[in-house]
Each structure stands twice: as C-alpha cells, then as structure tokens.
Amino acid sequence: MIRLSARFASFAMLAAFSLSAFQLSAQEQAPSAPEPAASTNPEAAFPKPDPANFTASGPTKEVVNGFLKAFWGYDDTRIWQVEAILKTPIEGISKVIIYAGDKSGKQKAGVLSVFVTADGKHMITGDDIQPFGEHPWAEARVLAQQRADGPYRGSATKDLELVEFADFQCPHCKEAQANMDKLAVDFPKARIVFQNYPLPQHNAAAGAAAYGLCVAKEGGSDAFFLFASTVFEGQDGLNTADGATLTLNSAVTKVGLDPAKIATCSTTPAIIAAVQASVKLAQDLNINQTPTLLINGRPLPLGGVPYETIKQIIQYQIKIDAATK
C-alpha cells in the first residue's frame, strides 16, 4: 500500500521490476536509449559514450558503476552503461544519465536520469530522494540495527537482518506473509523482524499494531507471529470498529492470552509511544510503502515481487556485505 502519493516510481522499486519502469523516471532532458546489441559486455552493447558528456567533477564513473553494481548486480542478465555525468547550474549537483538493457538485446532499453547531491551520498529521481554511493545502504543498516525493535524470529544476531515494515490492514501485507514464512525457512540464520508501520488511512491499523506489541510483551515472539497470522487471515474484519474488536480479541484468544488484559495494555502510553517510534523509524529510513523489506538496510518493496527475486536479492546482499567486512 502506498503511504504517500507519487508521480514517479522510487528508485528503490526499480530493482524488483522490469526495465520498462525506467519510463516512469524523470528524463525530460535525457536522450533516448539506443537498442542494445546482444552482448555480455556493456561497452559492446551500447555506443561508446562521448567524453564531452562527462563535465562534472563528481561522482566519478567508478562510483556510479559501484552503485549500480550494488543495486543491480543480483541480476546477471542486466547490463548498463554510464552515458553522462554532467554539471548543472547548481553548484555540486550533477546529472547522471544511464543506459540499461539485458544481455540478450531482446528487451527494450531504458534510460535513467538522476541528480546526485554535492555530498555524493544521495540522488534525486523523480520526486524521491534515495541513498547513493558504492555502499548506499550502510547508514540505513546501522539505523535499523539500532532501532528496529519489533518482534522477531530466527537469529538473535544481526549479521543478516530482514526488517518487514507492515500494516495489519494493508492487503499487500497480507499477501506478503506467505513469502515471509518462506524466508524464515530458507534463511534460518536471518533475524526477521516485524516492524509496525500503520498507515493513517487505515482506522484499525494503529490499534492492531498496539495489540500485537502487547501480545509480544505478554507471550513472546512466537505468540506474536501466531497473532499476526490470525489477524491477517481475518483482515476484512478490521474494516469496521466492531469487527476490528472481534478480530483482534479472537486472535488474542487463539494465542492463549486474555483479550481484556491485552486491550488495556494496548492503550497505555508506553505501547502507543512504541508504535509511534516504529512509524518514525520507517519515516527516517524514507520508507513510503507497505510492505517493504529492509535487507541489511537495503529497501525492497514487496508488492508483486516474485519470491525467487526476493530470495535472489537477499543472497546477493549477503555476498556484497561479506565482501565489505
């Protein structure tokens, strides 16, 4: 579920979707991408870049390629080329133009135009700002390790931390739970955290989040994940006030806890503050959709993403994180 309306897809979404998503990016002043020839070598697939199009002092071509390798390297069919790094009228802001295609040459090429900020740590694409650099998610990983305190399953360590930001009333979050269960099986050494991100347009979401935290407080993480599964199964019941009460209390009863005690707990200042702190963490991480999975700091919106793609990205993130230790 999209939290904030947006005219353009965020760059984080592009990792999980086809190259046609490039057409959603700002490209008013970008050239049309040529059709790539079938090749495993980007230099052979696209025309050679014009040195005159590299007028900015930074970022360097190596840094841009490092970012794209971190971002797209999980997909061994994807090729790209840095076409231009241009000065702009604003001191320190550079415009980067990238061509992308696939090795077969059968997929229509895309062109992406982004602006990189003076600190070299951020880029602007469409109306969104995202991390940039050869290690773009390092700061987000630290932030999540420090503040993602929701119920978790799996490892107590944070070598591989998968943080799911979800809303109990979000239909896509309900759909994502089957994949989250698969991840728990396929990555037994992962710490899989459920982080509440109730959306304001969902009347019952904040209350459900508070109930869940109280269930975790009283019964532990196992009780929480059974509660969460039950609430998602009965999600339609959250659409009315009476239905929400019945749905939440039934889920509490299923895990063997007292609904009256959990209801009282859910309205305490400490629990309300914990839900608000979880929302603040999502905002500080620039997460604007549910469900979103944070993979050692790397954001991946889960809506419509095939399980094998999610798994592939996680495996790749493990690899590149190990290489940077």
pLDDT of res. 3: 39
Helix/strand/coil for 102? strand
User: Distances in Å between the alpha carbon of 11 and those of 65, 231, 250, 299, 322?
Assistant: 15, 32, 40, 10, 24
Phi first, then psi: give them for residue 184, nearest 5 degrees.
-60, -30
Q: Last residue of a domain, which of 86, 111, 135?
A: 135
Tokens 């749905």 belong to which residue? 247
The pLDDT assigned to 20 comes to: 33
Give pLDDT, residue 7: 27
Three-state DSSP state, 100: strand
Supply the range of the domain harboring residue 67: 11-135
pLDDT of residue 46: 86
Provide the strand spans (E) within the chain: 78-87, 94-102, 110-116, 122-125, 128-131, 152-154, 161-166, 191-196, 292-295, 298-301
Would you say 225 and 151 are in contact if contact means Cβ atoms under 8 Å apart? yes
- Residue 26 in domain: yes
The tally of domains found in the chain comes to 2
Domain boundary among 135, 164, 179: 135
Q: What pLDDT is recorded for position 44?
A: 64
pLDDT of residue 38: 56
* 28 and 168 co-located in one domain: no
Do both 304 and 168 map to the same domain? Answer: yes
- pLDDT value for 194: 98
Per-residue confidence (pLDDT) for residue 103, from 0 to 100: 85
**What DSSP string runs through 106-167?**
-SPPEEEEEEE-TTSSEEEETTEEEE-SSSTTHHHHHHHHHH--S-EEE-SS-SSEEEEEE-
* Whether residues 168 and 301 fall in one domain: yes
Q: Could you give the C-alpha distances from 160 to 104, 295, 303, in angstroms and in order?
A: 33, 7, 22
Is residue 315 assigned to a domain?
A: yes
Q: In 172-185, which positions are buried (b, 16+ CB within 10 angstroms) versus exposed (e)?
A: bbbebbebbeebee
For residue 65, which of 76, 79, 54 has the smallest C-alpha distance?
Answer: 79
Q: Can you give the pLDDT at residue 18?
A: 34
Q: Which residue, 73, 102, 135, sits at the end of a domain?
A: 135
My answer on whether 123 and 210 are in the same domain is no
Question: Do 274 and 229 share a structural domain?
Answer: yes
Note whether residue 325 is domain-resident: no
Mind listing the pLDDT tens digit of every residue in the chain (325 residues)? 543 323 233 333 344 333 333 333 333 344 555 655 555 565 567 889 999 999 999 999 999 999 999 999 999 999 999 999 999 999 999 999 999 988 877 777 788 999 999 999 999 988 888 999 999 999 999 999 999 999 999 999 999 999 999 999 999 999 999 999 999 999 999 999 999 999 999 999 999 999 999 999 999 999 999 999 999 999 999 999 999 999 999 999 999 999 999 999 999 999 999 999 999 999 999 998 999 999 999 999 998 899 999 999 999 999 999 988 7
- Kindly state whether residue 310 falls inside one of the protein's structural domains: yes
CA angle 255–151–172, rounded 5-degree value: 85
- The answer to whether residues 286 and 212 belong to one domain is yes
* pTM score of the predicted model: 0.87
User: Is residue 280 assigned to a domain?
Assistant: yes
**Confidence at residue 102, expressed as pLDDT on a 0 to 100 scale:** 85
Residues 280 and 301 in one domain: yes
143 and 244 belong to one structural domain = yes
pLDDT of res. 37: 58
Q: Is residue 52 part of a domain?
A: yes
